[in-house]
């Protein structure tokens, strides 16, 4: 490779890794802050009331709000955090803040995107951390729901009410839409468990699992041990592992390592940090140990993973 070509490749790589977009939810209407309803980008229906999302979503991107993609009709793939999921008719895809994703559709497409902030959903009594408790918004769960026709129709009836309220905004519309959205989320939770045959055991204290997940999101950069989270929760490591495994089938240490590995993947692909810097940022004092752990989880050394993903995204 000539020096010129190498410089061009290095420059392209730096541009790609430095410019993974992080989008905010557009603020267009003071009557309804923190919630937007759009049609999917490739939906050919023209409706000025529900335009396409005004952001460049044709490249890998992320945002600081939640999204639900509602596919009435669709064929293609949705890549979320380096995993590819097929888009099907009558399906929902769930995106959490910070997740890197890209939708690649083929042929006809029809549907909507509901975009909303955590503050919008939890702007009420007894709503703190309610989104953390939803299985499809977990970083480590399946982020899609392929629905039976009957269940999909049930959810589209709720969506229809949201659309009506969205079109005819009144001072109370935000609160009305918030209630409909919460019903939509809870019904999706019920169907998610049914469709995925999610039949967990009955934890002694169900909130332990949800509190652990919330703590994991806040502390995975610095806390790598089950003991750390058990201390924060005021219980024993044995108790924490037991309750977590009853809820999701994995023990706490596995979830901790999975979350750290996911963040390492993001940093390798979408930052210019060296392997050593990433290791330190994720709480590993020995970069070589980080590399061994990463390879054990992914079958790639960190540098190899970065090269493979760079080649993929360039194409």
* Residue-wise DSSP of 230-299: HHHHTS-HHHHHHHHHHHHSS-HHHHHHHHHHHHHHHHHHHS---HHHHHHHTT-S-HHHHHHHHHHHHS
**Total-model pTM:** 0.74
What gap in Å lies between CA 21 and CA 57, rounded to an integer? 9
Query: Is 7 among the domain residues?
Result: no
Q: What is the pLDDT of residue 31?
A: 66
Q: Please answer whether residues 128 and 122 qualify as being in contact, where contact means their C-beta atoms are separated by less than 8 angstroms.
A: yes
Count Cβ neighbours within 10 Å for each residue of 238-265 and write b for 16 or more, e otherwise: eebbbbbbbbbeebbbbbbbbbbbbbbb
Which residues contact residue 100 at a Cβ distance below 8 angstroms, ignoring those fewer than 6 apart?
20, 60, 61, 62, 80, 81, 82, 266, 269, 270
Query: Is 220 among the domain residues?
Result: yes
What gap in Å lies between CA 33 and CA 14, rounded to an integer? 35
DSSP class of residue 137 equals G
Whether residues 147 and 176 share a domain: the answer is yes
Whether residues 98 and 216 share a domain: the answer is no
**Domains identified in the chain, total number:** 2
Boundary-marking domain end, from 171, 195, 219: 195
Whether residues 30 and 139 share a domain: the answer is yes
Boundary-marking domain end, from 174, 195, 216: 195
Query: Is 16 among the domain residues?
Result: no
Whether residues 214 and 186 share a domain: the answer is no
Q: What is the pLDDT of residue 54?
A: 78
Q: What is the pLDDT of residue 186?
A: 93
Look up the CATH number of the domain holding residue 175: 2.60.120.280
What gap in Å lies between CA 311 and CA 158, rounded to an integer? 42
Whether residues 156 and 56 share a domain: the answer is yes
Q: What is the pLDDT of residue 314?
A: 64
Whether residues 177 and 294 share a domain: the answer is no
Nearest to 230 by CA among 246, 218, 241: 241
Residue ranges of the chain whose pLDDT lies below 70: 1-20, 28-31, 124-129, 139-140, 196-206, 313-315
Whether residues 50 and 162 share a domain: the answer is yes
Boundary-marking domain end, from 140, 160, 195: 195
The answer to whether the Cα torsion of 118, 205, 190, 192 is positive or negative is: positive
What gap in Å lies between CA 294 and CA 314, rounded to an integer? 23
Whether residues 174 and 227 share a domain: the answer is no
Express each pLDDT in 38-88 by its tens digit: 998 877 777 777 888 877 777 888 888 999 999 999 888 998 888 889 999
Query: Is 14 among the domain residues?
Result: no
What gap in Å lies between CA 76 and CA 104, rounded to an integer? 6
Look up the CATH number of the domain holding residue 298: 1.10.10.60
Q: Which domain does 214 fall in, by range?
A: 207-314
Whether residues 94 and 220 share a domain: the answer is no
Whether residues 189 and 217 share a domain: the answer is no
For helices 237-248 and 226-233, what crossing angle results, to 10°? 100
Q: Please answer whether residues 65 and 115 qualify as being in contact, where contact means their C-beta atoms are separated by less than 8 angstroms.
A: yes
Whether residues 169 and 138 share a domain: the answer is yes
Query: Is 6 among the domain residues?
Result: no
Which residues contact residue 260 at a Cβ distance below 8 angstroms, ignoring those fewer than 6 apart?
220, 224, 282, 283
Whether residues 175 and 64 share a domain: the answer is yes
Q: What is the pLDDT of residue 17?
A: 43
- Using alpha carbons only, give the angle 62, 97, 27 rounded to the nearest 5 degrees: 80
What gap in Å lies between CA 238 and CA 274, rounded to an integer? 36
Query: Is 13 among the domain residues?
Result: no
Nearest to 236 by CA among 266, 264, 259, 205: 205
Per cent of the chain over pLDDT 70 is 85
Question: Could you report how far apart the first and last alpha carbons of the chain are, in Å?
Answer: 19
Query: Is 173 among the domain residues?
Result: yes
DSSP class of residue 89 equals S
């Amino acid at each position: 490779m000539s020096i010129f070509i190498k410089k061009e490749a290095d420059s392209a790589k730096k541009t790609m890794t430095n410019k993974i977009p992080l989008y905010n939810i557009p603020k267009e209407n003071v009557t309804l802050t923190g919630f937007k309803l759009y049609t999917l980008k490739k939906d050919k229906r023209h409706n000025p009331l529900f335009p396409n999302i005004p952001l460049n979503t044709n490249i890998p991107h992320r945002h600081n709000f939640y999204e639900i993609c509602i596919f009435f009709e669709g064929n293609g793939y949705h890549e979320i955090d380096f995993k590819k999921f097929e888009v099907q008719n009558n399906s929902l895809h769930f995106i959490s803040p910070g997740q890197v994703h890209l939708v690649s559709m083929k042929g006809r497409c029809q549907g909507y995107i509901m975009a909303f902030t955590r503050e919008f959903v939890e702007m009420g009594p007894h709503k703190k951390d309610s989104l953390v408790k939803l299985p499809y918004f977990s970083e480590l769960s399946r982020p899609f729901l392929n629905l039976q026709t009957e269940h999909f129709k049930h959810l589209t009836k709720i969506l229809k009410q949201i659309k009506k309220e969205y079109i005819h905004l009144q001072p109370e519309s935000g609160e009305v839409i918030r209630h409909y959205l919460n019903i939509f989320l809870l019904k999706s939770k019920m169907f998610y468990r049914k469709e995925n045959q999610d039949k967990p055991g009955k934890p002694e204290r169900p909130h332990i699992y949800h509190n652990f997940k919330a703590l994991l999101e806040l502390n995975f950069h610095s806390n790598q041990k089950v003991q750390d989270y058990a201390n924060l929760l005021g219980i024993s490591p044995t108790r924490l592992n037991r309750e977590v495994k009853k809820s999701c089938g994995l023990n706490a240490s596995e979830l901790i390592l999975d979350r750290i590995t996911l963040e390492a993947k993001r940093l390798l692909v979408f930052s210019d940090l060296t392997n050593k810097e990433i290791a330190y940022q994720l709480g590993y004092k020995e970069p070589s140990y980080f590399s061994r752990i990463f390879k054990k989880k992914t079958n790639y050394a960190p540098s190899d993973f970065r090269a493979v993903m760079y080649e993929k995204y360039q194409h």
